[in-house]
Chain A
Amino acid sequence: MVLRLGFIVNPVAGIGGPAALKGSDGQVDAALARGYEPTAAAKATRFLRRLKERAGPTSIRIFAAPGVMGTGIARDVGWKVGTLGAETMMSDPFATEALDTEEACRYALEAEMDLIVFVGGDGTARDVASVLAMERPMLGVPAGVKMFSDCFAETPEAAADLVADIARAPFAEGDAIECLEADVMDLDEEAYRDGRMDVRHHGAARVPRSPRVQAAKCPACPVDGLEGAVGEVRLRMSEDPSGLFILGSGSTLAALKTSLGIQGTLIGVDLVTGTPAGTNDEPAWETVALDADADTIDALVAKALAEARSVTLVLSPIGGQGFIIGRGTGQLSPAVVRAALPERIWVVSAAGKLDTIGSGTLRVDTGDPALDEAFPRFLRVVVGVERERMVKVVHA
C-alpha cells in the first residue's frame, strides 16, 4: 500500500518560545525584532530525513503545502513531492498565516490524504484540527512553544518512525489507520500575558494509535484502558442513576458521554440524569443541560440538593499538567465542587494518560483558597474495570 501523506509546516512555529512570548501567534514581528530565528524548518527536515531512511518514496507519496510550508523543505531533502494547492511560491516564511495552514488542510482533505503530518505547536494543531475535524488522522511533529495537545509525537524522529510503521504495515487499500481520540488544547496567550492561565479544549482529533505518540513508559504496553475506565464509571452511575451527574469536558469524558448514548459536547460541561429502565439494568440517560455555563450549573445543583438527590462531578485530568479543576473548567463554581465533595468527585482516566502527568499528582484550583485547602489530599482515579489508583492532589 502506498501511504498518501499530507505534510504541512508552520515555518514560524516555536519562535515565540525562546523569545519568552508564550506562543507565536501574532508575535512574529516582536520575536524577529529580538533576533530570534524559527526552528520549525530544521525539525521538519529531521522528520523527512528519518522517514526517507525508514520507509522511503516507494511506500509513501508525500503531498506538501507549497514553498516554505513544505515542498521547499522536502526538495532540499531530496524527496519528490506533490503540492497541496497551487504552487504559489511561498518563499517568505514570515508571510505565512493560519489561513494558509487551513487552506493546505482543505486541499489535503480533497486529495484524500491518508494521514496529515504537521510541524508546529498547539496553535498549528488548532488550525489543522479545525479543518480536518475527525475526518482524517493527524500527527504533530513538535515544534511549537506550547504543546498541551495530545497529538504530538515525542520527537521528529519518533514521528517519522510512527509514519514508517504505518506505511510498512500490511493494510489493504482503503483500510483505515487505527486511531485514538486526542484532545486539542490551547492556552489563551493574551490571557496568559495578562497573568491568567486559561487552557481550553479546542476540539478533538484522531491520532494514529501507537505507543510512540505519547511518552511510552513501556514500548510493549498498549496505550489503552480508556474503554475499561469509562465502562467502570458508567456502571457506577447505573447504580444510582437518579442523581445529577455533571460531566466535564475533554476526550475521556466525551467517550463516557458517547457510551451513555447521549449527544454530549466535547469541549463543554454537560449535565445528565437517569431513570432506571424496567427489567433491563441499563438506565435511560437524558441530558439536563448541554455546554452549560456557571449560572445554569449552580441552579441545577441547588435544585438537586433541594430534592435530596445526589450530585456527582465526573472529571478527567488534562494530560501532561494533571489539572482536574481550574483549567478549562471555569463553569464549575466552588459551590458546585463543595456539593460534590467529599465522596462524589469521580475522576476517570486511562492509566496511560495518567502516566503522562509529569508530577504524578492531580492539580486543583477551585478559585476559593479555603476550599483548595480543604480538598482531599488523595483521590481515587478510575483507571479500568474494577481498578482504581490513589493519586495525590495538590492545589495550584
Chain B
Amino acid sequence: MAKEIAAAEATESDLTIPRDRVSRLHLKEALLPAHAGRPHEGSLDGTATPAAYRRKTSPALPTMSEFEVVRHFTRLSRMNFGIDQGMYPLGSCTMKYNPKFAEVVAAFEGFTRLHPYQDPSTTQGAMALMWELEKQLCRVVGMDSVTLQPPAGAAGEFTGLLIARKFHEANGEGETRDEVIIPDTAHGTNPATAGMCGYKVVEVPSTEEGTVDLEALQAAVGPRTAAIMLTNPSTLGIFESEIKEVARIVHSAGALLYYDGANLNAIMGRARPGDMGFDIVHINLHKTFATPHGGGGPGAGPVGVRSRLEQFLPTPRVVRQDGEGGASFVWQEVGESSIGKVHGFHGNFGMLVRAYAYILRFGGEGLRAISDTAVMNSNWLKRRLKGMFDEPHRDLRKHEFVVSASNVKKSRGIRTLDIAKRLLDHGVHAPTVYFPMVVDEALMIEPTESEPLDEMERFAQAMESVLADDPEVVRTAPHTMPVGRLDEAWAARQLVLTWQDARARIDELAPETDEA
C-alpha cells in the first residue's frame, strides 16, 4: 500500500478540478499533510484506496428529507411535558423556571470552547467565576469553604459523607463510628448514600408534628454515630423548630450534622444551615439555582463545609493570588487529607455558569425574595386546596406541603395514583405521589416561586374537577395521553424494549385477519 501511495505522490499532473469537488479536496489536503499543496493524480475516484476496498455501488443508507426529520422530533416534543409548558409541582424537586438569560451566558464561546486541561493562564475568567461562585454559595448557606466538583445532588451527599468519614478517621474513630442517623422523612438518596459509604443506617421516627422525635434521636446517638443527615425544612415542608437542640444532641455525641440542600429554596436570605449548627451542606444548583433538570440537563451539587473540615475537601481547589498585576487564579492540590476527586474534571462547568449568572442577576435581596415567594405560593396553594384532602401535621408550611388523599380513598374509592393520572387529562402535571412514606396516600406539592396565581388556580380547578369526577373514569385515567394506564405488574414481566418487540406486541394484540 505504501508503495502505491509513493507512486501516486511521484506523479504530477495538471488537474482541472470540477467545482463541486473542490471543498472535498481541500478537506483531504488538510488530512493528509504529505499531500498538502500537491495536486492528486486523477479525479477523486482515483484515490490511493486500493481497488479491492473501493465500492462498486453506492451504499444503501436510509435517507430522509430534512423536514421529515424536523417533523418527527417536533411531534415527539409535543408528547412531552416541560417547565416551559406549565407548572411542574413535584415536591422537593424545585422545578422552577429555567431563565433564558442563563442559557445565553452559558453559551458564550469563552465558556463553551474551554477545555479543563488548558493552561490555567488561558482559563482565568472561568476560574474567577468558580472562585466567586464558591464565595457566594458560602454566604448563602453559612459555610466556610465550598467544592464545586460534585456533578449531582446525590453525588454531593456522597462527597459530604466521605468528608465526614475522613474526619472521623483523622480522629482515630474511623472504625468505631459506623452509623448514620436518618429521619423517616428523608429522601431515598440519603440512606442509599450512607450505605454506599459503608455506613449502617439508623432511621428515627418523626413526631405527630412532622419534626424529628428528639427522644428517639437521643436514644439513637452514641459513640457509633458518624453523622445525621437532615433536610430542613423536611420533605413534609415543615421547619425543624428544634434544630438547635438536634445539633446539640448530635455534637455532644461527637458526630457531625449533614444538611441535604434539596429544600434550600425555602429559606434563602432568612436562615442558613451554618447558623443552625450544620457542619456539611450540599446544594442542588439544578433545584435552588434554576439550572435545568428533570431530563433537561446535568446537575451540580456543590458541597460546603465548616473550616475544621476544609482539609478534607476534594482536590484541586481554585486559589486566588493577589499580586502586583492584580488577582490571578491557580489550581492548588489539597494534600493528603483530601478525599480525592469526585469528578473527572472540576465539576459540571456549564451548570456552574448558569447558577453564577442567576445569583448575580438577583443578588442577595433577590434570592431572599425568591424564597419568600416560594413559601407564599406554597401556602397559598395549600389554603386554596383546603377541604379537599386530609392535612396531617401542622398548618404553616414552607415551600412545599404534603396532603393525604386517604379521605378521598374512603369517600370515593379513588387513590392518589388515580388522581395523579387523571390530572394529566387536564393538562396538569401531577405532583409527587406516595412520598414521604410517613403519610398515607401522599401528594407532595411544590409550586415554586415561578408560578403566577393564574397557573396555581388552574391547578386547583383541575384538582376540584378530578375529585368531583366519576370515580370509574378517574380509576382508569389517563384517557387523552399517548400512553394509557400501564399495568405495572405486567410491565415488569413483559418488557418491550426495542422497536422489534413493540412491533411484535402490536401484531400479537391485533392480528391481521385474512380476507377471504
User: What is A's interface to B at a CB cutoff of 8 Å?
Assistant: 165, 168-170, 217-221, 355, 360, 376-378, 380, 383, 386-392
A-B contact pairs, 19 of them (CB 8 A): A168-B490, A169-B490, A217-B434, A217-B440, A218-B434, A219-B415, A219-B434, A221-B434, A376-B219, A377-B215, A377-B219, A378-B220, A383-B203, A388-B200, A389-B184, A390-B205, A390-B220, A392-B215, A392-B216
Collect the chain A residues with CB atoms within 8 Å of residue B437's CB: 217-218, 355
Contact of B200 among A168, A169, A217, A386 (CB under 8 A): A386
* Total A-B contacts with CB atoms under 8 angstroms apart: 62
Is B191 in contact with chain A by the CB < 8 A criterion? yes
Q: Are B200 and A378 in touch, CB under 8 angstroms?
A: no
What's the least CB distance linking A367 to chain B, in Å?
24
Q: Are B490 and A390 in touch, CB under 8 angstroms?
A: no
Q: Are B203 and A390 in touch, CB under 8 angstroms?
A: yes
In the bound complex, how far is the Cα of B114 from the Cα of A228, in angstroms? 48
Residue total for B at the interface (Cβ-Cβ under 8 A): 26
Please, which residue of chain B has its CB at the minimum distance from the CB of A383? B203
In the bound complex, how far is the Cα of B415 from the Cα of A28, in angstroms? 37
Whether A388 touches B219, Cβ cut-off 8 Å, given contacts A169-B489, A217-B437, A217-B440, is no
Q: Are A390 and B204 in touch, CB under 8 angstroms?
A: yes
Contact of B201 among A165, A377, A378, A388 (CB under 8 A): A388
Collect the chain B residues with CB atoms within 8 Å of residue A220's CB: 434, 488
What's the least CB distance linking A346 to chain B, in Å?
14
Please, which residue of chain A has its CB at the minimum distance from the CB of B433? A218
Collect the chain B residues with CB atoms within 8 Å of residue A355's CB: 437
* Chain B residues numbered 154-194 whose CB sits less than 8 Å from any CB in chain A: 184, 191
Q: Are B417 and A219 in touch, CB under 8 angstroms?
A: yes
In the bound complex, how far is the Cα of B202 from the Cα of A391, in angstroms? 10
Q: Are B205 and A380 in touch, CB under 8 angstroms?
A: no
Is B349 in contact with chain A by the CB < 8 A criterion? no
* Chain B residues numbered 417-442 whose CB sits less than 8 Å from any CB in chain A: 417, 434-435, 437, 440
Whether A386 touches B199, Cβ cut-off 8 Å, given contacts A217-B437, A218-B434, is yes
* Chain B residues numbered 378-408 whose CB sits less than 8 Å from any CB in chain A: none
Q: Are A165 and B489 in touch, CB under 8 angstroms?
A: yes
Collect the chain B residues with CB atoms within 8 Å of residue A378's CB: 215-216, 219-220
Q: Are B494 and A170 in touch, CB under 8 angstroms?
A: yes
In the bound complex, how far is the Cα of B205 from the Cα of A377, in angstroms? 13
Q: Are B434 and A390 in touch, CB under 8 angstroms?
A: no
User: What is B's interface to A at a CB cutoff of 8 Å?
Assistant: 184, 191, 195, 199-205, 213, 215-216, 219-220, 415, 417, 434-435, 437, 440, 488-490, 493-494
Collect the chain A residues with CB atoms within 8 Å of residue B215's CB: 377-378, 392
What's the least CB distance linking B182 to chain A, in Å?
10
Kindly list the 5 A-B residue pairs having the minimum CB-CB distance in the complex, ordered from nearest.
A378-B219, A389-B203, A218-B434, A386-B200, A390-B216
Please, which residue of chain B has its CB at the minimum distance from the CB of A376? B219
In the bound complex, how far is the Cα of B417 from the Cα of A376, in angstroms? 39
Contact of B202 among A219, A221, A377, A380 (CB under 8 A): A380
Collect the chain B residues with CB atoms within 8 Å of residue A218's CB: 434-435, 437
In the bound complex, how far is the Cα of B201 from the Cα of A390, in angstroms? 10
Q: Are A390 and B219 in touch, CB under 8 angstroms?
A: yes
In the bound complex, how far is the Cα of B205 from the Cα of A355, in angstroms? 12
Collect the chain A residues with CB atoms within 8 Å of residue B203's CB: 383, 387-390
Collect the chain B residues with CB atoms within 8 Å of residue A390's CB: 202-205, 216, 219-220
Collect the chain A residues with CB atoms within 8 Å of residue B195's CB: 386-387
Collect the chain A residues with CB atoms within 8 Å of residue B415's CB: 219
Q: Are A389 and B202 in touch, CB under 8 angstroms?
A: yes
Collect the chain B residues with CB atoms within 8 Å of residue A383's CB: 203
Whether A169 touches B417, Cβ cut-off 8 Å, given contacts A378-B220, A386-B201, A390-B202, is no
What's the least CB distance linking A55 to chain B, in Å?
13
Q: Are A387 and B191 in touch, CB under 8 angstroms?
A: yes
Collect the chain B residues with CB atoms within 8 Å of residue A170's CB: 490, 493-494
Collect the chain B residues with CB atoms within 8 Å of residue A217's CB: 434, 437, 440
Collect the chain B residues with CB atoms within 8 Å of residue A380's CB: 202, 220
Q: Are B434 and A169 in touch, CB under 8 angstroms?
A: no
Q: Are B205 and A392 in touch, CB under 8 angstroms?
A: yes
In the bound complex, how far is the Cα of B181 from the Cα of A388, in angstroms? 10
In the bound complex, how far is the Cα of B490 from the Cα of A139, in angstroms? 21
17 new A-B contacts at CB < 8 Å, known A380-B202, A388-B203: A165-B489, A168-B490, A169-B489, A217-B440, A218-B434, A218-B437, A219-B415, A219-B488, A220-B434, A377-B215, A386-B201, A387-B203, A389-B184, A389-B203, A390-B202, A390-B204, A390-B216
In the bound complex, how far is the Cα of B204 from the Cα of A217, in angstroms? 18
In the bound complex, how far is the Cα of B184 from the Cα of A388, in angstroms? 11
Please, which residue of chain A has its CB at the minimum distance from the CB of B441? A217
What's the least CB distance linking A137 to chain B, in Å?
17
In the bound complex, how far is the Cα of B179 from the Cα of A389, in angstroms? 12
Collect the chain A residues with CB atoms within 8 Å of residue B199's CB: 386
In the bound complex, how far is the Cα of B220 from the Cα of A377, in angstroms? 11
In the bound complex, how far is the Cα of B205 from the Cα of A383, in angstroms? 14
Collect the chain A residues with CB atoms within 8 Å of residue B200's CB: 386-388
